């Protein structure tokens, strides 16, 4: 069921969005060559406890997960692009890191993701991250109450195809509110003018994710981490966005912290 939020409820969602933004900005600043993925998870867990927030991941067990996730943040590295289960891995020079984080604050959920390089970057990785960020910006720009879900999907797809990328639509954006995943599904490719109309009060987690040379993925032996079928690298960017008649509100915006 698709739920619409009142202006007052959207205001109540702001603290969750702000907290998610702060955590991701902190983790990106602290994550370096030599950082262990388990340390990232522990740091996020500590920040959740201090804030009195609630993890959306630790007990999460959907049909596509082998078991409850058991951690509080997704850490996807290099050829892993989604649902990366933190494990005993020390980051190396040039690793492409994607962090996906969702929490509930006072009963309201916010969800966001970032991708970045630790150490010496490769040009093709920077280009992939830039494309994913531009696709997210296009999705947000298309989040107008005069549009439909297909307009968001088409905007994301246009950015990807302009860079010669192919798109996997198995996982994409989704409704968010009292729970992390709700209706509607927002694929990263579609036809403009089609689908559910974007109405004031609709809150979506928009999340373009792309792989460099494929759109095929497989599930790692850990039962969670999704990796590219050909070993190419992936990038993932996400914001929680509320639709209003005055335009979209990015609830997980990090610009107030002086970062993108």
**What pLDDT does 256 receive?**
82
Q: Does the residue 155 lie in any domain?
A: yes
> Based on the structure, what is the number of domains in the chain?
1
Report the SS3 class of residue 225: coil
pLDDT digits 0-9 by tens, 169-180: 999 999 999 999
Q: Is 161 annotated as a binding residue?
A: no
Residue 123 lies in a domain: yes
Question: Does 207 show up as a binding residue in the annotation?
Answer: yes
Task: Report the CATH number at residue 80.
Answer: 3.90.230.10
> Is 2 a domain residue?
no
**Contact status, residue 213 vs residue 234, Cβ threshold 8 Å:** no
Is 1 inside a domain boundary?
A: no
**Which pLDDT value is given to residue 64?**
87
20, 252 Cβ separation under 8 angstroms: yes
Residue 3 in marked binding region = no
pLDDT for 260 equals 77
Please state, in angstroms and rounded to a whole number, the distance separating the CA atoms of residues 126 and 123: 5
The verdict on whether residue 100 carries a ligand-binding annotation is yes
236 annotated as ligand-binding? no
Angle at 74 between CA 117 and CA 107, to 5 degrees: 125
Domain that holds residue 185: 7-255
Check residue 176 and give its pLDDT: 98
Give the angle subtended at the CA of 122 by the CAs of 134 and 234, to the nearest 5°: 55
Neighbours of 246 (CB within 10 A): 9
Instruction: Give me the pLDDT at residue 258, please.
Output: 79
90, 34 Cβ separation under 8 angstroms: yes
Q: Which stretches in the chain have pLDDT values below 50?
A: none
Residue 111 is labelled as binding a ligand:
yes
The pLDDT tens digits of the residues spanning 21-69 come to: 999 999 999 999 999 999 999 999 999 999 999 999 999 999 889 899 9
Assess if residue 260 is contained within a domain: no
Q: Facing residues of 206 across strands?
A: 239
Structure tokens at 53: 């927030």
């Amino acid at each position: 069921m698709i739920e619409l939020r009142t202006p007052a409820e959207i205001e109540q969602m702001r603290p969750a969005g702000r907290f998610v933004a702060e955590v991701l900005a902190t983790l990106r600043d602290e994550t370096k060559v030599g950082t262990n993925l388990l340390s990232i998870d522990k740091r996020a867990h500590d920040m959740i406890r201090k804030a009195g927030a609630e993890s959306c991941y630790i007990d999460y067990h959907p049909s596509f997960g082998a078991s409850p996730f058991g951690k509080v943040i997704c850490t996807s590295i290099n050829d892993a692009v989604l649902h990366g289960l933190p494990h005993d891995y020390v980051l190396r020079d040039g690793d492409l890191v994607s962090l996906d984080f969702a929490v509930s604050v006072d009963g309201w959920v916010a969800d966001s993701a970032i991708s970045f390089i630790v150490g010496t970057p490769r040009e093709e990785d920077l280009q992939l991250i830039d494309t994913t960020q531009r696709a997210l910006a296009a999705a947000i720009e298309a989040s107008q109450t005069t549009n439909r879900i297909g307009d968001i999907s088409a905007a994301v797809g246009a950015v990807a195809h302009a860079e010669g990328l192919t798109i996997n639509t198995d996982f994409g954006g989704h409704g968010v509110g009292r729970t992390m995943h709700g209706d509607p599904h927002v694929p990263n490719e579609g036809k403009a003018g089609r689908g559910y109309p974007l109405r004031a009060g609709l809150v979506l987690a928009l999340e373009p994710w792309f792989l460099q040379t494929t759109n095929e993925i497989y599930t790692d032996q850990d039962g969670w981490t999704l990796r590219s079928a050909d070993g190419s690298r992936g990038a993932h960017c996400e914001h929680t966005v509320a639709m209003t008649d005055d335009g979209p509100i990015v609830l997980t915006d990090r610009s107030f912290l002086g970062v993108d």
